[in-house]
Amino acid sequence: MRFLLLSLALALPNLSLAADLNGYTAKHECRIGNVNCDIDLVPPNCDIVIDTSDTSWNKIYSNNGARTFCVSAGDHTSKGSINLNFSGGANQRKWIRSTATQNPIVQSPGSRATVKNIIFNGGQYWVIDRIAVNGQGSADPAVWFKGGTNSGNNVINRSLLENGGTGYTGVVYIESGADDNAIQNSVIRNSIFVRDEDNDCINLSNVTGTLIVNNEIYRCRGKGIFSPSGGPIPNAIIENNDIYVDKSQQSDCNGNVVADGPCSGGESPIFLKSGGTLGKPVTVTKNRLWGVRFTDLNLCCGGGTSGAVVHLSRGTEAPQHDGADYVLLHNNLIMGGQLGVASYPDGPENISVVGNIFYQIRRYSTREVTGTMQLFTATKTEWYFNTVVDSDIWLSVHPDAALNDVRCNVAIASGSQSGQSSSDTTIVDNMVYANAADAKGTEYCFWRKLHTGAEQICIPHARPTSSSPHAKACASAPGFRTGIGINDAPLL
């Protein structure tokens, strides 16, 4: 792998307007004219300005007929939480925004409009824009969509969210019943370390239609994005995010920080114990995910995980739903973990893993096995058109993983398949190159850390050419096996 760092000034594209450094425009970003989320996010003029000299948020509560509340630069955390229990409308949303025009991640701390917590307690149709929310270690999440309050149809845009949420919550905590909220173009980081707790960056309960798009999510003392057991999260979209465990969390497994070490003080970038439903899958697409290792419990978490970059399971705690069923993993870059996509324990069903690139999935810690595409207990899953590069084991199978379909994948300079598959699992038309040069591919380059200082990563041999033997070598018709994957059609 080679990488290139960009200066900060060049590395921060305006992700709310156009294609990013990778040439991609998110399909589910809320913006005017987007059929998937058509919301005008051009900031309106200020109706009410809240200064640091104000001692409370009373200007918001006593002027609930106003549309736009602007927060001046400076530290407003002494005012306590903003509690939103009144609403805007679909045609005229209410706003809380900074008086500045910059995303707070590029501002100095003193130039940010910094508040302590924002709690949606029945508030609907709000836009939070260019606000820094710093929970300062409080037990309350930095942004909390309270359960049972119908706190839906809100947008968090171009904001910095950090340092909040204990007691198995997270920096952003979306409880059951808070449907159709969007978190986009933001940085979510620095969840709080409490021994024997998983405090995630985004904790997503039984809700419908959540959009998590164009964010950078890191330094989580738990998972990056987590859905617990208890109910599905249909139509959730996780698109075009950088979600990672950074080097400051990697360790020697004994509580000592060691960059590129075998363990880490953070868990899976994406860990789902609940998924979608038939016709309403969870979609995980175009993300860049990396850096997790076997959990160092001296630095993180309540129980630890195996080091899977994406972990899909059924969960063992009550209440127990069907698990992370009906999940589409599509066109992601999955890198630098002990496991790539793993299913354990009590694996889910009807998963589609299509068109992803896996890189350097290795046995960093001897305390856990490794495997890039791990079919340990997953059932009725399909894996095709994936590329595995420089990884220890490209495919790990198990007799308990029934009715799976694995075809048209490519493994380059990676270890062979391991384990014994079930008799009803199909593994055909995959190509494995022990010698990377035989793949006749070129490097695949992309940018990551798009908000905090972009760096370019190049994966050798990952991009096929017209000379690659696998370019047109798949004779199968993937996606048509009845009852396997999220539906019975090819996902190309």
Is the model's pLDDT at 201 over the cut of 90? yes
The strand pairing partners of 156, in sequence order, are 128, 183
Q: What is the percent of the chain with per-residue pLDDT over 90, rounded to a whole number?
A: 82
Length in residues, the chain: 492
Percentage of the chain beyond pLDDT 70 is 94
For the segment 4-28, what is each residue's pLDDT rounded down to a tens digit? 333 233 333 444 457 999 999 999 9
Q: How confident is the model at residue 253 (pLDDT cuts 50, 70, 90)?
A: very high
E strands, 166-302, are 170-174, 182-184, 187-189, 200-204, 211-213, 216-218, 225-227, 237-239, 242-244, 250-251, 263-264, 270-272, 282-285, 288-290, 294-295
Task: Tell whether the torsion through CA atoms of 302, 306, 310 and 313 is positive or negative.
Answer: negative
pLDDT in tens, 313-352: 886 655 555 689 999 999 999 999 999 999 877 778 999 9
Q: State the pLDDT at residue 380.
A: 93
pLDDT value of position 13: 40
The domain ranges of the chain are 1-28+187-203+213-221+229-269+280-470, 30-162+174-184
Residue 437 binned pLDDT confidence (cut-offs 50, 70, 90) = very high
| Dihedral sign for Cα atoms in the order 367, 371, 372, 378 | negative
Per-residue confidence band for 462, with pLDDT thresholds at 50, 70 and 90: very high
- Cβ proximity of 251 and 307 under 8 Å: no
* pLDDT value of position 2: 37
The angle formed by the CA atoms of residues 327, 333 and 334, to the nearest 5 degrees, is 75
Partnered with residue 119 across adjacent β-strands are 83, 144
Residues 6+ apart with CB under 8 A from 127: 39, 41, 93, 94, 95, 96, 97, 154, 155, 157
Q: What is the pTM of this model?
A: 0.95
For residues 284 and 378, which has the higher predicted lDDT (pLDDT)? 284
Mean pLDDT over the full length of the chain: 92
Confidence (pLDDT) at 17: 52
Q: How far is residue 136 from each of residues 77, 156, 481, measured CA to CA in Å?
A: 9, 19, 51
Other C-beta atoms lying within 10 Å of the C-beta of residue 196:
9
Residue 8: the pLDDT is: 30
> How confident is the model over 55-88, as pLDDT tens digits?
999 999 999 999 999 999 999 999 999 999 999 9
CB of 282 within 8 A of CB of 271? Answer: no
Q: For the segment 362-377, what is each residue's pLDDT rounded down to a tens digit?
A: 999 999 999 999 988 8
Report which secondary-structure segment, H or E, holds 59: helix 58-61
The reported pLDDT for the residue numbered 304 is: 78
Q: What is the pLDDT of residue 216?
A: 98
3-state secondary structure of 329: strand
pLDDT-derived band at 303 (thresholds 50, 70, 90) equals: confident
Condensed to tens digits (0 to 9), the pLDDT of residues 90-109 reads 999 999 999 999 999 999 99
